[in-house]
Amino acid sequence: MPRSEVIAVGSLTMEFLLEGADTGGGLAQFVVGVPAGAQVPAPHSHDGYEETIFGLEGEVTWTLAGAEHRVGPGDAVCIPRGVVHAFTNPGPGPARQLVTVTPGVLGPDFFRALGAVFEAAAGSRPDPAEIGAVMRRHGLTPAG
């Protein structure tokens, strides 16, 4: 599959390296770009897959079940199924992280749909109900 598409969701970017279709459903993998102070996903969980984060550049603070984990270059954190989590980049510069989803059930369609909600908001705050609906359609459960 061509690797040239970069999907924007607000100021975040995702570039898929592997989709579930490429790996027999075993995993999906993408690089996420997180600018400093970016609007990031609301706390959520997912029951259908684990997510492993590996820091490439900058530092992102992940909160898993209320505990903070700083992930910088060479650091990793695994998010088990069902654990509520969120992240932020409070640093002065951008961050990039490699995300591996196992099994590979989350793909680019989720991020394209979510990006469309942000794009429709035209710079204002996206509708939380629409974001929640997209998340639920793709196996994510908004917290709260």
Domain ranges (residues) in the chain: 7-142
pLDDT at 1: 47
CA dist 65 and 78 (Å) reads: 12
Q: Which helix (H) or strand (E) holds 14?
A: strand 12-18
CA dist 90 and 101 (Å) reads: 24
- Nearest to 59, CA basis, from 104, 18, 93: 93
94-103 tens-digit pLDDT:
999 999 999 9
Cβ pair 101, 28 in contact under 8 A: yes
**Residue-level length of the chain:** 144
- Distance from CA of residue 97 to its chain's centroid? 10
37: left (phi over 0), alpha (psi -120 to 50) or beta: left
pLDDT at 4: 67
* Parallel, antiparallel or unpaired: strands 95-102 and 50-57: antiparallel
Domain 7-142 matching CATH 2.40.128.260: the answer reads no
Percent of the chain at pLDDT > 70 equals 97
47-64 tens-digit pLDDT:
999 999 999 999 999 999
Q: Under 8 Å CB-to-CB from 120, ≥6 apart: which residues? A: 126
